[in-house]
Amino acid sequence: MSITTCIFDAYGTLFDVTAAARAAAAQPQNSSISENWPKLATDWRLKQLQYTWIRAITGAHADFWQVTQEGLDWAMEANGVGGAELRAELLELYWNLEAYGEVPKMLEILKTAGLQTAILSNGSPDMLTGAVSSAGIGGQLDALLSVESIGVFKPNRKVYDLVGAHFGCHLDEVLFVSSNGWDAAGAVGYGFRTVWVNRACEPMDRLPWKPHHQLPDLQQIPLIAGVLL
């Protein structure tokens, strides 16, 4: 079957999760992170993901905003920085993450070709709405699918079920795109065709499933989806 539906992870795939720390570090009042903001951003993201996995395994679900705050608190302590004002600024910036430069054009090409597009994310609905609005890409997305509707994080199979439930499409019609290797692998195990957007040039995860495609960014997604440029 040909691809009819392109599904994107949000954080790290469409939106730059390092943007909040980078923007905060550029402000004179935040000299405490002016040099080590990349590590702060990396630690924040890692703990955010680790907490979702633990909560998914144990059934102790909390919405992604709580997990995001808890991950930041750990990262700030681990990097020896503190302050309520800095914390508040970082969290506010997370609601307005920058989209990667190629995202708007890529989505426009897909929509012009008649494909269905959506986000499938751990993010809560209000977080996703805020990020999409800030990036100005709402007109190129048909749906924002959040795990909050089922109360469990990726890579639980129930999350990937949301795609078929919403669009009524066959598994073979879906191209799933994620910057998380484990997410792309999980989607392969579910039955989707997948792309791993490996922006950081990381090694392939040692898992039972491997993504069908690996790209450095999103520019070639339309070609993989069968759109002639």
**How far apart are the C-alpha atoms of 211 and 6, rounded to whole Å?**
15
Is residue 86 within 8 Å of 198, Cβ to Cβ? no
In Å, how far from its chain's centre is CA 182? 12
Annotated active-site residue in 9, 16, 43, 183:
9
Please indicate whether residue 9 is annotated as part of the active site. Answer: yes
**Residue 226: CB atoms within 10 Å:** 12
For residues 124, 37, 20 and 51, what is the CA-based torsion angle, rounded to 10 degrees?
A: 0
Number of Cβ within 10 Å of residue 44's Cβ equals 25
Residues labelled as active-site residues: 9
